[in-house]
Amino acid sequence: MIKINWAEFKSFKRHSNKQGDNFEILLDFLKSYYNMTSPKEMFETMFYDDTAQLMLEKRDLKSAEALEKHLFRHFDEL
């Protein structure tokens, strides 16, 4: 199980072009820093981290499938 490195996240966030939405920045961070491509792996990593879990709950994302739908919804908006 990967533990989110919040110090590295803060550094990543400073250089992110997505200002304001920490959840979207966290998703980019997981993809970039940890080379995560699987929504299941992303969800599990976030689920076992207290801060990331709050982000999931705020968006009512209760499963890897819900996160996958969220990811594809944002992909379609691009």
CA-nearest of 11, 12, 7 to 29 is 12
- Residues 14 and 25 sit within 8 Å (Cβ to Cβ): no
pLDDT at 76 over 60: no
pTM of the model as a whole: 0.88
Read off the pLDDT of residues 4-46 as tens digits, 9 standing for 90 and up: 999 999 999 998 877 778 999 999 999 999 999 999 999 999 9
